[in-house]
Copies of this chain bind each other. A is one copy, B any other.
Amino acid sequence: MTRRVAERSWRAATASCEPAWTTKIQYPRGSFGMATENSRLILTRRPEPGRLADCFDFQRSRLEEPGPGEVLLQTLWISVEPYMVLAASGALAARPREARTRMQSLMVRYAAGVEIGEAMPGPAVCRVIKSRHPGFGEGEIVTSYSGWQSLALDDGSLLRKIPAGPVPLPAFLGVLGIPGLTGYAGMKVIGAPRGDDMVVVSAAMGAVGAVAADVARQAGAPTVGITSTERKRLQMVEELGFTFGADRKAEDFSDQLKQACPRGVDVYFENVGGMVWWTVFPLLRAFARIPVSGTLTNYMPGAGEGERDRVPELMKQVVPRRLRIQGFAVFDYPELEDEFTEVIGDRIASGAFTYVEDRYEGLGSTPQALQDIVDGKTSGKVVIHLAD
């Protein structure tokens, strides 16, 4: 795999529908010849911690022409997401389940993980370049689950058309995609903030957290975002509309949170786990709601080792403070998808909701982008640009 040292360029938002802040990392564009010559990044071995980028390699192949009911897709943007660490490490078990809706099918695909020798599956934005499917015409832009490759043959069952509009395409992988819907559903249904509730969102600049925070903002609730540098903390307040920011790596993180939430926390959108969880925990007020969309730190090998058991500490507070800790998955809320697309799409288009995107360039940059997520080096939603 060829890779060049990354060049980062930070810039502020220029147009209202552009993300507030974009990290660009330059990689050589994948060069491939005919439209049916496919480049894929396949998993060559299960990763050890910190070595993700070495576990993938290019594989080129020639695709068949699409058969009846199939389309040929050209990948424009690829999504890189934290759960892919689990998929690559083999932690997701490929248990086939019944799926009747597009959302259920997506869930099955997410949960299936990836085997050695396979291309990493995952969300992408693609252009239909050949179609023998009655539902999709050539030139249409769709979201797919075609993963880390430059082309894909697809039966259309997981595709969703992207309407023409002012919103940039990669947003449909982040704040307007599955991660955004995750934040939307969790905050709306479980967090359910009311006017003067104090809301705290972890990983608040990622697509999940950014949309969760925007739902709270729309409800009029003061919202604290947790991020991982002082610069990002300031940016959250000055550019992204958060009421307060807190830097989880700062020595006075706990004090920052206490100052931001003097009366305590009514909704904590839990996206992280570990130390952040335990810092927010003492601040939770009576009847606090805690939507849990994932707790990456708890999935790491060795989590919980050499510590005292803190479950009693947790459960002891659940009753007197009437805490509601509720896990959820985006796939449980297909009925919210249209509403979400409209509400958040309008908010982005009107400039009411700005967000952060980290754009990497070229298929070859994808494994490093995933490593950067694990290392906490990224800022917002991570997307890979392949073609226009």
A residues apposed to B, CB below 8 Å: 273, 277, 292-295, 297-299, 303-329, 332
Contact = CB atoms under 8 A, between A and B. Distances in A.
Contact of A319 (B307, B318, B329): B329
A342 to B, nearest CB: 26
A311 B304 contact: yes
Given A295-B315, A316-B295, A321 B327 contact: yes
Contacts of A310: 304, 309-311
Given A325-B325, A326-B322, A326-B325, A314 B311 contact: yes
A273 B312 contact: yes
A302 to B, nearest CB: 9
A298 B315 contact: yes
Contacts of A327: 317-324
A360 to B, nearest CB: 27
B311 A322 contact: no
B307 A308 contact: yes
Contacts of A298: 311-312, 315-316
Given A292-B318, A318-B327, A320-B327, A308 B305 contact: yes
A311 B295 CA distance: 11
Contact of A299 (B292, B294, B305, B316): B316
A307 B312 CA distance: 11
Contacts of A294: 319
A319 B326 CA distance: 8
Contact of A318 (B297, B303, B315, B325): B325
Given A319-B328, A321-B327, 5 more contacts: A303-B316, A310-B311, A320-B329, A322-B329, A324-B327
A322 B328 contact: yes
> Which of A292, A325, A328 has the largest number of chain B CB atoms within 10 A?
A325
A311 B311 contact: yes
B315 A273 contact: yes
Given A325-B325, A326-B325, A292 B319 contact: yes
Contacts of A292: 315, 318-319
A304 B295 contact: no
Contacts of A316: 295, 298-299, 303
A292 to B, nearest CB: 5
A304 B316 CA distance: 11
A299 B316 CA distance: 7
8 contacts: A304-B309, A304-B311, A309-B310, A311-B314, A317-B327, A318-B327, A322-B326, A324-B326
Shortest 10 CB-CB contacts between residues of A and residues of B: A318-B327, A307-B309, A303-B312, A298-B312, A304-B309, A319-B327, A304-B312, A324-B326, A325-B325, A295-B315
A85 to B, nearest CB: 14
A86 to B, nearest CB: 10
Contacts of A297: 312
A322 B293 CA distance: 9
Nearest to A111: B320
A313 B303 CA distance: 8
A161 to B, nearest CB: 29
